[in-house]
Chain A
Amino acid sequence: MTTGLFFTQLLNGLQLGVLLFLLSAGLTLVFGIMNVVNLAHGSLYMMGAYFAAAAFNAFDGSFLAAALVAVPGTLLLGLLIERIVLANLYQRDHLDQVLATFGLILFFNEVVRFVWGPASVYMNVPSWLSGTIDLFGLPYPAYRFAIIAVGLAVGLGLYALINRTRVGMLIRAGASNPDMVSALGVNIRGLNTLVFGLGAALAGLAGLMAGPIVSVQAGMGEPVLILTLVVIVTGGIGSIRGAFYGALIVGIVDTVGRAFLPTLLRELLDRSVAQAVGPAIASMLIYLLMAAVLALKPQGLFPVKHG
């Protein structure tokens, strides 16, 4: 029974990790190539979820329609943001980028409240994924399993794109020396836009996949954004591989920690102390993990190799 529960929680952690990977891959690419901090990435995720929920409810429960609206919609929105705001900030300090994207977060949260109202919007799991599947005798919700599958597929796709194609080669080259790539006649602005659009589309995909399992509301992007930042810092800024492993580690540590740490502490400590301390430590666990990683390896677990 306990091992069953443990594996279920492990899978839940994997599912959270995969979702975090979809977000951190985009963010870390944008950082690695353009040297830009984009805090509005969480807002793109939120907009993706809202687009998906709106389309899902408008086309009476068609998940395909939701996907067809959410991903291209977020892609377009991302391109707009890049053109209007961020393209003017590439040469400026991180401080200016942080501030401008912070302003965008406030803006999008209010836009969402204005258009869809302050209450949460709901989106159901599509009927063909609403059951459970049997994993070695362990029942697990099919939809969550689908999230894991989609995330791993995207991970493989990104790996192939970055390491096996010409565009991927340009992206890697742009990350290590943008001036040189530009001097060789590559349109680096176009490359930037492409990468930003890719990141935005991935954020939209994450929003779409998360839509049915979280409550879609204003401000839903911020907690996820902060987890994403933890992932990126832990994994090593700018590295897709780091984002992948970092996301899985953070997702699993957070989920499993929250599920089992309070019970574990109850065995070790006095009951009343454990009751008070357990949830507190569980919610701080990933930050402690990040602090430990940074104290030992300031560049993160999987730093980008340059040169």
Chain B
Amino acid sequence: MAESRAARAFALLLLAGLALVPLVAAWLGQPFWVTLFTRILIFALAAMGLNLVLGYGAMVSFGHAMYLGIGAYAVGILSHHGVDNGLLQLAMALGVGALVSLSVGAICLRTSGMAFIMITLAFAQMLFFLAVSLREYGGDDGMQLRNRSQFGPLDLNDATLLYYLAYALLLAVLYGFWRLVHSRFGMVLRGCRSNERRMRSMGFPTLRYKLSAYVISALVCVLAGMLMANLTRFVAPSYMAWTVSGELIVMIVLGGLGTLIGPIAGATALLLVEEGLSSLKLGIPWLDTVVNQHWLALIGIFIVLVVLVLKQGLYGWLLVGERSRAERRAAPKPARVPAGDRPPYSVDEGQT
């Protein structure tokens, strides 16, 4: 892929910066940063998983928080019954995740477009209400984890270790997705994004490819959910609230849809903005209170603006920016509207 130099530098800088977080936090004496950035990594992982179907397959799943919940509840429920073995929890989480995503995916993929968005949302809600009604496991309030998962010599109670585990997993998934997206499988998936009917008439069983992508992306979210339970030592239905699914999509679109680094950049940016707004100190007391209590309203406006203005996302903007700057150097002309953005003929020429 002909990525621009700026975009590649940005990606390397972001990954290197994330690798250094615990060191910087220890140096500055801010251990809280490690927790915050572990959260960022976990959401980045989940967003990357969702991006496989959303960005590369153009399947707008509005229910991926469900798989975060499955990962978290697998850890929580097994731990509740005294099973702290991480490998067993992993097997359980991936097994249940695969089973659920296969059946949910098989039903949802019968529809497309708008119906797909709504039906994935509805399934996630179904699981949410299921979790709420599980009184044994805390119901609405969720439950505290007695112990973190035990992976032999790895002690997940060590915040730095947990951070680097999440980081290693993120790099592994990033590499795996890089191979996947550029493989034949990824080509077919991207082909479906542009024109599924053509792919079918070329003889590809597209449903099978889309379903596989859906299951893979769900399993990555399950892994993120397991990490989340271990980070917070707490499992609650709120992990699979539909707003979480929405936030994952926001991260992807903010970072850059259908790019590998985009979801990581988006998750970092969104969570840092949220953190910044909720603890903002401008020195004007009443404004500070309003912003700190009602920062979600600003996030809402922010999301609307991102959608309206920043069409390719932060990282996508770097990719495209370089290209259009080069074009402008080659042909110095007044601003042009890309052909795709305007109808074949425009009636209200004067107004725009």
Contact = CB atoms under 8 A, between A and B. Distances in A.
Interface in A219-240: 222, 226, 229-230, 232-233, 237
A146 to B, nearest CB: 29
Interface of B: 54, 60, 62, 107, 110-111, 113-115, 117-119, 121-123, 125-126, 129-130, 132-136, 242-243, 246, 249-250, 253, 257, 290, 293-294, 296-297, 299-304, 306-308
Interface stretch (A48-56, A88-96, A194-202): A88-96
Nearest to A96: B307
Given A94-B60, A98-B60, A100-B308, A283 B114 contact: no
Interface string A265-284: 00000000000100110011
Contacts of B122: 226, 229-230, 233, 287, 290
Interface string A74-89: 0000000000010011
Given A102-B246, A106-B300, A226-B242, 4 more contacts: A105-B300, A106-B297, A114-B297, A298-B111
A109 interface: yes
A232 B304 contact: no
B245 to A, nearest CB: 9
Contacts of A154: none
A158 interface: no
> Chain A interface secondary structure, helix, strand, loop or mixed?
helix
A209 B176 CA distance: 53
A284 B115 contact: no
B115 A237 contact: yes
B49 to A, nearest CB: 17
A95 B58 CA distance: 9
Nearest to B126: A287
A291 B302 CA distance: 35
B123 A103 contact: no
B204 to A, nearest CB: 20
Contacts of B117: 37, 94, 98
B54 A103 contact: no
Given A280-B130, A287-B122, A294-B111, A95 B302 contact: no
Closest 5 A/B residue pairs (Cβ): A103-B303, A107-B300, A110-B297, A106-B300, A287-B126
Contacts of A184: none
Nearest to A103: B303
Nearest to A106: B300
Contacts of B123: 287, 291
A37 B116 CA distance: 12
9 contacts: A89-B308, A99-B246, A100-B307, A102-B249, A114-B297, A233-B115, A283-B132, A290-B119, A298-B115
A88 B308 contact: yes
A45 to B, nearest CB: 16
A226 B121 contact: yes
B114 A99 contact: no
